[in-house]
Amino acid sequence: MVRFENVGMRFGTGPEVLRDINVELEPGSFHFLTGPSGAGKTTLLRLIYLAERPSRGRVSLFGERVGALSRNALADLRRKIGIVFQDFRLIDHLSAFDNVALPLRVAGEPESLVRDHVGELLAWVGLAAHMEARPATLSGGQQQRIAIARAVIARPDLLLADEPTGNVDDTLADRLMHLFEEMNRLGTTLVLATHNESLVQKRGYPRLHLESGRLAVERAGRNAA
């Protein structure tokens, strides 16, 4: 599903922010991505969802070596990936409903299916009363739930989430984690970046830990790399 081979990443002439990353994530796996601020977590996610190219090494997604693909082939890969951005990136002039519906409409799904699925998902995340609201009128936590709903609505093969529970209370965070876990049970591969150590310990999934640009894989509480 995701494979990094000796990947390094630098911006311009600055120092490498990622160094010698070697990791393979199997289809259907669930990993937390942890590490202190500035460790490179967001950069690693950007490499996975093809917003950046590595300075060295190889990145492969869905069995395809990214560096050898055409622009059209890269676009096809991106359609298999759902992303929860830390800054939400909602479209300001669209309602909550239309923001969440966007992936389904781009995929050409019938409007009857769009109405049913989007309405059901927004109700599940507690936003049934705000379907027509514009993002600017909503709180940060509400915007975050819209961003999560948009990322999961089309059931992507790979879901990347950058601090998806950072602006919600513990009860709602637990509800959102159940949503991610249900997607995982249905076959979606997940990488969830978080600073919430209690969330990581409670769930017990393998951890990708970044420290000073280097990656360690920890399974069952023990360092395996």
Q: Are 99 and 146 in contact (CB under 8 A)?
A: yes
Residue 225, pLDDT score: 41
Asked, for residue 21, whether it belongs to a domain, the answer is yes
Q: Are 40 and 213 in contact (CB under 8 A)?
A: yes
Asked, for residue 65, whether it belongs to a domain, the answer is yes
Residue 220, pLDDT score: 53
pLDDT 10s digits, 167-225: 888 888 888 899 999 999 999 999 999 998 888 998 889 999 999 999 999 885 444 44
CATH of the domain at 220: 3.40.50.300
Please give the chain's pLDDT, 225 residues, in tens.
899 999 999 999 999 999 999 999 999 999 999 999 889 999 999 999 999 999 999 999 999 999 888 989 999 999 999 999 989 999 999 999 999 999 999 999 999 999 999 999 999 899 999 999 999 999 999 999 999 999 999 999 999 999 998 888 888 888 889 999 999 999 999 999 999 888 899 888 999 999 999 999 988 544 444
Asked, for residue 129, whether it belongs to a domain, the answer is no
SS (H, E, C) 61-112: ECCEEHHHCCHHHHHHHHCCEEEECCCCCCCCCCCHHHHHHHHHHHCCCCHH
List the beta bridge partners of residue 2.
25, 61
Asked, for residue 18, whether it belongs to a domain, the answer is yes
The count of other CB atoms within 10 Å of the CB of residue 74 is: 13
- Ranges of H-type helices in the chain: 41-48, 71-78, 96-106, 111-124, 140-152, 170-185, 197-203
The total domain count for the chain is 1
Show the domain range for 63. 1-32+46-78+198-225
Spatial separation of the C-alpha atoms in residues 68 and 49, rounded to whole Å? 16
Asked, for residue 182, whether it belongs to a domain, the answer is no
DSSP one-letter code for 136: G
The count of other CB atoms within 10 Å of the CB of residue 216 is: 15
Asked, for residue 5, whether it belongs to a domain, the answer is yes
Spatial separation of the C-alpha atoms in residues 80 and 75, rounded to whole Å? 9
Asked, for residue 214, whether it belongs to a domain, the answer is yes
Residue 173, pLDDT score: 86
